[in-house]
Structure 1
Amino acid sequence: MATILLSAAGAALGSGFGGTVLGLSGSVIGRAIGATVGRSIDQRILGGGSDAAEVGRVDRFRLSGVGYGLPVQEVWGRMRVAGE
């Protein structure tokens, strides 16, 4: 929340100064500074983040393949099989 408020306040202050630096207007520079300060305040208040969440993983992932000496797959109807 501090990010949004300080970003808007920085844009208002920056536009009051006017002028440009390296092609960036004072409003853009003020908004960037306000957002950076607001983000650091938000992280201190809300914490650096939560513990890493463990996502589902595939234990065994096998690709079907072909090779010399392996049996030829036999299917009926339409089916995708590996091959050359």
Structure 2
Amino acid sequence: EQYRAVWGEAVKLRASGQLLRSFVALDCPITLIQGEQDPHPVCGVCGPLAGSGKEYRVHVLKCCGHSPWLERRARVEFFEILKQELGQ
């Protein structure tokens, strides 16, 4: 439900380039946790981020699609990475 509520705006921000410009303005650690079988390939996400000059970390989960917190084979690893990234 939340996804549908924001995706229309996110598509417009992505198309205009504003989404990437907003990313560059962030002043916090950035971590990408991506499923290997996500319909949005990790190279398609990292490519624009790499050109931004911002540092970020990438974790690619095997046997995982778009929702690792829901996926049986990736759920535990996803939450372990999340805890690590949050310093817990």
- TM-score normalised by L of structure 1: 0.25
- TM-score normalised by L of structure 2: 0.24
User: Higher strand share goes to which structure?
Assistant: 2
